[in-house]
């Protein structure tokens, strides 16, 4: 049965694949044999993150997801031309601006909607022709638990200098859109043997926040049945599953990797 998780000869792109969560996805795909192209704006950050990783299947491509859909198509065509296929697309990168619930500007709202939702739409649109030609593809979109539940403001963000971590409205709205877009394209592309699924991470606070505010971290832990934070490696299993033959009867689904947060 082990072969159904094998990603040897598969070509994957992970946008933002050197970031906190993205690096966990990248390392998981590499471990199962995939050629992984990390896409991002900073090659320096890529090199720093993976300075101890000598895997010959790890590559970098400069890519700014705020660019037009034409740039997405150009980059994906380059990958297909250089590596022979484009089998797996992880839409992980995003860009946001603004976090005020009551004073959100129209500009910040539009900027974040494009950075979270619009960029994924452009990515999927760009990879469709390649995957249709292959009659195969795995598209995995990173959503969020806040795409299907609302923050508990008083419990999490009130007092003890926790207000600055408050999840803004446009982020959750855009992530909810990611989940719906996943379902839409799963139906639209299913007949071409293209699978589209989403992963909704829960509390995966960066180490800087963990050091900065232990009280907030304890609140996060107390908000899920496992009473702990996620770490990037906790995304490994679901990432490999959705990228491999093991998920060939799974599409249009959203997987909450959240310590059980969303069942309460």
- pLDDT value for 248: 98
Any domain includes 212 = no
User: Residue 255: which CATH number?
Assistant: 3.40.50.720
Q: Give 64-91 pLDDT, tens digit per residue.
A: 999 999 999 999 999 999 999 999 999 9
Domain encompassing residue 145: 2-154+167-206+231-263
- pLDDT value for 215: 97
Any domain includes 213 = no
Any domain includes 8 = yes
pLDDT of 1 higher than 90: no
Inter-residue contact 14 to 7 (CB < 8 Å) = no
Any domain includes 49 = yes
Any domain includes 127 = yes
Reading the block at residue 2, the tokens are 């082990």
Any domain includes 214 = no
- As a whole number, mean pLDDT of residues 143-157 equals 95
pLDDT of 100 higher than 90: no
- pLDDT value for 2: 80
- pLDDT value for 35: 98
Any domain includes 216 = no
- As a whole number, mean pLDDT of residues 132-142 equals 98
pTM of this prediction? Answer: 0.97
User: What total number of domains does the chain contain?
Assistant: 1
Any domain includes 50 = yes
**Exposed/middle/buried for residue 109 (C-beta within 10 Å: 0-12, 13-18, 19+):** middle
């Amino acid at each position: 049965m082990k072969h159904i998780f094998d990603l040897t000869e598969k070509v994957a792109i992970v946008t933002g694949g050197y970031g906190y969560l993205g690096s966990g996805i990248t390392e998981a795909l590499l471990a199962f044999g995939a050629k992984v192209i990390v896409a991002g704006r900073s090659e320096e950050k890529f090199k720093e993150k993976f300075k101890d990783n000598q895997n010959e299947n790890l590559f970098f491509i400069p890519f700014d997801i705020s660019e037009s859909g034409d740039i997405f198509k150009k980059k994906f065509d380059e990958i297909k031309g250089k590596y022979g296929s484009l089998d797996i697309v992880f839409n992980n990168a995003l860009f946001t601006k603004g976090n005020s619930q009551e004073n959100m500007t129209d500009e910040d709202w539009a900027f974040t909607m494009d950075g979270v939702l619009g960029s994924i739409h452009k990515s999927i649109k760009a990879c469709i022709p390649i995957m249709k030609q292959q009659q195969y593809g795995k598209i995995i979109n990173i959503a969020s638990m806040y795409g299907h539940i609302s923050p508990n403001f008083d419990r999490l963000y009130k007092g003890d200098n926790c207000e600055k971590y408050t999840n803004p409205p446009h982020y959750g709205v855009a992530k909810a859109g990611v989940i719906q877009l996943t379902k839409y394209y799963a139906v639209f592309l299913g007949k071409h043997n293209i699978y589209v699924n989403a992963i909704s991470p829960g509390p995966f606070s960066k180490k800087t926040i963990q050091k900065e505010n232990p009280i907030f971290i304890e609140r996060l832990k107390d908000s899920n049945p496992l009473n702990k934070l996620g770490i990037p490696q906790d995304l490994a299993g679901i990432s490999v599953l959705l990228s491999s033959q093991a998920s060939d009867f799974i599409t249009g689904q959203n997987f909450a990797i959240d310590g059980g947060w969303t069942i309460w």
